[in-house]
Amino acid sequence: MLNIDHVSRRFGAVQALDDVTFSMADHGMTGFIGGNGAGKTTTMRIIMGIITADSGGVRWRHAPITPADVRRIGYMPAERGLYPTMPIGKQLAYFARIRGLSRQDAATSTERLLTELSLEHRSKDPVQNLSLGNQQRIQIAAALIGDPACLILDEPFSGLDPIAAETVGEILRSHSERGVPVLFSSHQLDLVERYCDHLVIIADGKIKATGSREGLLATHAGFSYEIGADDLTWLRAERGVIDVVPHGRKVRFTIDALNQDTAEVIAQEVLQRALGHGPVNSFQRWTPSLAEVFRDTIVDRPGEPGFDRRIRRLWRRPGLFQDKP
């Protein structure tokens, strides 16, 4: 329902966004990941109409987005905070009203939301009197107020301890399960991995990859395996085995094959050979963590550390990645 079409934005000498195009999934949680200065905040601000794009545009349900549409989107800016001395009930009602709700609707919505977050008895307290966890809840509530059609959250997990992060993650998940799509940015990949269903990866203002989490992880797994054994010195010389990398007490290797079936056959041969050399503690197909996928994805120039020709090969597959030269 939300499409970002060829959005570019420059700040002085910095090209913050360069032809950014992606669409937000209609269901579930979409993680928007990228390092510091990658352009996540700028993208979100353009969606929310807080700043304008130099070129390109945003569509909402297939039509150019309007201020009225934006008010249907719940937004949480980065480095959050609320009015420190304003009672939380009043505060939430205020955010509801500036988004166009009537006084009555704002009051009802506030009451319902506070009850849902088990904070109904704190309605008259200012934010600064709440515990950190509750402050976090109220922060999210400011985006959730007024039944938004969609949620956009900039770094909702940054600066949170694991328990607070869990609280936030569960609130967001429960809303996404109720049919409100969520787009959240983060550079904490473990949390993204845990909560997102879809991924959009951005680096240097360019979109590097988009897709479902499973799809992305599976593709990046390629034909790599992990083996744990006492003696693996022979592995490098093995035919069809490339990229042998020690990984903790195990070794990760990739098989140079054209398809999964061939790779599987070669992998079984390697396993037999290993058993011939001695006992094998573990042997399994390797699935990368999101952090590894991310690291591989954002580096697209040969010769840079972390460059992996596997990735280059995968990018040529149509439909899985948008290849941005």
Ligand X SMILES: Nc1ncnc2c1ncn2[C@@H]1O[C@H](COP(=O)(O)OP(=O)(O)O)[C@@H](O)[C@H]1O
Query: What are the residues binding ligand X (CB under 6 A)?
Result: 11, 14, 16, 34, 36-42
Q: Considering the complex, what minimum distance in angstroms separates the CB of residue 75 from other proteins?
A: 5
State the amino acid at position 187 in one-letter form.
H
Interface residue with other proteins, options 24, 25, 33, 82 (CB under 8 A): 82
99 is an interface residue for other proteins by CB under 8 A: yes
Interface residue with other proteins, options 10, 27, 173, 324 (CB under 8 A): 10
Alpha-carbon span 174 to 178, nearest angstrom: 6
Site for Mg ion in 155-214 (CB under 5 A): none
Q: Which does 141 bind (CB under 5 to 8 A by kind): Mg ion, other proteins, ligand X, none?
A: none
43 is an interface residue for Mg ion by CB under 5 A: no
Q: Which does 308 bind (CB under 5 to 8 A by kind): other proteins, Mg ion, ligand X, none?
A: none
Q: Considering the complex, what minimum distance in angstroms separates the CB of residue 234 from other proteins?
A: 56
Q: Which does 34 bind (CB under 5 to 8 A by kind): other proteins, Mg ion, ligand X, none?
A: ligand X
Q: Considering the complex, what minimum distance in angstroms separates the CB of residue 207 from ligand X?
A: 12
Say if residues 123 and 153 touch (Cβ distance below 8 Å): no
19 is an interface residue for other proteins by CB under 8 A: no
Q: Which does 99 bind (CB under 5 to 8 A by kind): other proteins, ligand X, Mg ion, none?
A: other proteins
Site for other proteins in 139-168 (CB under 8 A): 142
- CA 257 remoteness from chain centre: 31
Interface residue with other proteins, options 1, 8, 15, 57 (CB under 8 A): 57
What is the C-alpha end-to-end distance of the chain, expressed in Å? 27
Place of tokens 């999964």: 260
Stretch that binds Mg ion, among 26-34, 77-85, 213-221, 309-317 (CB under 5 A): 77-85
- CA 51 remoteness from chain centre: 22
41 is an interface residue for Mg ion by CB under 5 A: yes
C-beta closer to other proteins: residue 10 or 324: 10
Say if residues 7 and 16 touch (Cβ distance below 8 Å): no
70 is an interface residue for other proteins by CB under 8 A: yes
78 is an interface residue for other proteins by CB under 8 A: yes
Over the range 153-189, which residues count as b (16 or more CB within 10 Å of their CB) and which as e?
bbbbbeebeeebbbbbbebbbebbeeebbbbbbbbbb
Q: Which does 275 bind (CB under 5 to 8 A by kind): Mg ion, other proteins, ligand X, none?
A: none
C-beta closer to ligand X: residue 16 or 183: 16
234 is an interface residue for other proteins by CB under 8 A: no
Q: Considering the complex, what minimum distance in angstroms separates the CB of residue 77 from other proteins?
A: 4
Alpha-carbon span 108 to 154, nearest angstrom: 27
Q: Which does 79 bind (CB under 5 to 8 A by kind): Mg ion, ligand X, other proteins, none?
A: other proteins
Place of tokens 């969609």: 150
Residues that bind Mg ion (CB under 5 A): 40-41, 78
Binding site for other proteins (CB under 8 A): 10-12, 45, 48-53, 56-60, 63-71, 73, 75-86, 90, 94-95, 97-100, 142
